[in-house]
Amino acid sequence: MEWKYIKNIDKSRGFAEIFIYDEISSDKVNGASIAYEMRYLMDYENVKVIKIKINSVGGDVMHAQTVVSAMIDAEEKGVIVKTYGQGLMASSAGVIFLTAKKENRYMKDYARLMVHGVSIPDESKLTESDRTALENFKGMLVQILSNRTGKKEAFFEELFTNGKDNWFDAKAMLKNGFIAKENIEETDIKVDIPANETTAGVVVVYNKLTTEIENNTNQIQIKMKKVIALLKLQEGVSEEVVETAISGIQNSLTTKTEELETTKTKLAQAEKDLADANTKLGVVNKASALEFVKNCIKEGKIDPAKEADVLVQAESNLEGFKNLMSAIPVKAPNIINQLRADENVDPATGKTVVTETKTFRQLEKEAPAVLNTMRATDLPRYVNLYNAQYGTSKTEADFK
């Protein structure tokens, strides 16, 4: 369906945009037509948010009043109505802007609001009933603006009767509570309107704003086209679509960053676990090497005096050292080692622990040759073992 004021309907997010970008009148921005289109959005498109973009010099109070009534009706049906000051919100257009609730009013930082009295071009032809009608229109607007802004009626009564065009920039609107600070959009557009120009009339300000905005908009559109191309979106999409795409990228980046941090934490833990495992493995390897070297000494393959030097080789390459030792035949057992019944290496400390020493009687049964060798080569030890076994006090002379 072709619409005159609805420029965008986003069903996926339940909102639509209406533009008031001209004079409010029967043949330009028609209030009745806007009211019909708003009703269609609610009844047939299930729209939950209506955004009204405004850049207008104002115009016919009756048509503006129709838009205001449609906005209030929409709110009563649960629809959120937002107004956006895109440039100039003058006269009746300013009334439309202020009809939205404060939290639903938005504006560019360069926008201007203007409020003045209700009038017609030639008041000299007004009848008494006409003047009464104008006074009633003024009364309605004062009441509406007071209710919607929370300001006292006297405040707006003054604005409608002081005979001036009362201008409000972003700073003045913030001061008077017409806008929330976070709802003022900061832009790169700088609009300088001297005081003498604002007093010169609405059209002068409108033309000034329009020129500045168009110049800057052209530059922004060029930049936006580049952004849209980079995002691989269809040309001509709305700002909301671009914002959604950018938000999606930002969310994805945040997720990836969080995943990266989680991976880094896991990697750091894995590196610590590996270091701990390597430390434990090193202890075990040293213990294994020491145990093997001790066994080789028992077997007579290694000179006990060279244990320390040989142990370094075994620790550096235990498998290779084992292969080397396997090629060396077992020699006559060392007597001292034969005396040790159980000798092990403690894995925690790497030290040799002797848990039992063989007795004289055990050697008589298990290794008499060892005793004979000991008697011939180490008689003092032989005598000590004998006396310990049999409880005697023999000397070396008794065995010569």
Segment 116-154, tens digit of pLDDT: 987 655 555 667 887 787 788 889 889 999 999 999 999
pTM, 2 dp: 0.54
Cβ neighbour number for residue 65 with a 10 Å cutoff: 18
Residues of the chain with pLDDT under 50: 332, 334
Question: Alpha helices of the chain — where are they, by DSSP H?
Answer: 31-44, 61-76, 92-99, 128-149, 153-161, 170-175, 195-198, 202-231, 239-298, 307-316, 318-326, 335-339, 360-366, 368-377, 379-390
Question: How far apart are alpha carbons 249 and 261 in whole angstroms?
Answer: 18
Question: How far apart are alpha carbons 359 and 363 in whole angstroms?
Answer: 6
Q: What angle do CA 216, 5, 177 make, to 5 degrees?
A: 65
* Residue 111 confidence (pLDDT): 92
Closest by CA to 43, choosing from 69, 70, 23, is 70
Distances, alpha carbon 74 to alpha carbons 34, 53, 80, 107, 380, in Å = 12, 16, 7, 21, 116
**Model confidence pLDDT, tens digit, residues 295-305:** 888 877 888 88
Question: How far apart are alpha carbons 105 and 270 in whole angstroms?
Answer: 54
Q: Can you spell out the DSSP letters for 52-65?
A: EEEEE--B-HHHHH
* Residue 153 confidence (pLDDT): 94
Q: Which domains does the chain have, with CATH numbers?
A: 6-201 (3.90.226.10)
Contact 84, 50 (CB under 8 A): no
Question: How far apart are alpha carbons 258 and 64 in whole angstroms?
Answer: 51
* Residue 2 confidence (pLDDT): 67
Helix (H) or strand (E) holding 357: strand 352-357
* Residue 332 confidence (pLDDT): 47
Nearest-10 crossing angle of helices 368-377, 379-390: 130
Amino acid at 214: E
* Residue 377 confidence (pLDDT): 82
Tokens of 368: 């008499």
Specify the residue for token string 């040799």: 352
Q: What is the dihedral of CA 35, 40, 41, 45, to 10 degrees?
A: 180
